[in-house]
Every structure is written in C-alpha cells, then in structure tokens.
Amino acid sequence: MAGKFDTAREIWMPLAEAGDAEAQAWIGSLYANGDGVEIDDSVAFAWYVKSAEGGNVQAQSNVGAAYAMGSGGKQ
C-alpha cells in the first residue's frame, strides 16, 4: 500500500508547493496519518494551515480541531 501513497505524494507535492489548497490538504493528511511517510504532526499542521488559508474547508476544520486540542501551536 505504501507504493500507492508514494505515487500520490509524487503527484500532490508539486501541486501543493505551487499553492493548490486541495493538494496541500492531502499532503497534510499523509503526514497526519503516516501514509507512506513517518507521522509528523507539525508538518501535517503546516500543510493544513496553508490549505486552510487557500479556502479548503476540511483543512480549516483540521486546523480548528488542532487548536481546540491544544496541538496547533500559537493561534
């Protein structure tokens, strides 16, 4: 299964780096869940913030949840 996540990351990462909010949310999800990468909540959160700023509603929810649980850093 990791191979599928590697392929997804290869596709999404350039899009995410170019500012695509949906791709940014997917990259955040990979890091949040450890799908094909090591779990890294700080990297996941950073991608979720970028995605949320780009208007992605799910990422906005994830950022809000992180703040509510006290794991989102400074507000």
pLDDT tens-digit readout, 8-67: 999 999 999 999 999 999 999 999 999 999 999 999 999 999 999 999 999 999 999 999
Q: What is the SS3 assignment for 41?
A: helix
Please provide residue 20's backbone torsions phi and psi, each rounded to the nearest 5 degrees.
-75, 115
Q: Mark out the alpha helices in 1-75 (DSSP H runs).
A: 2-17, 21-33, 41-53, 57-68
pLDDT of residue 70: 84
- Report which of residues 69 and 17 the model is more confident about: 17
Q: Domain boundaries in the chain?
A: 2-68
The mean pLDDT value for 1-11 works out to: 86
pTM for the model? 0.89
pLDDT of residue 38: 95
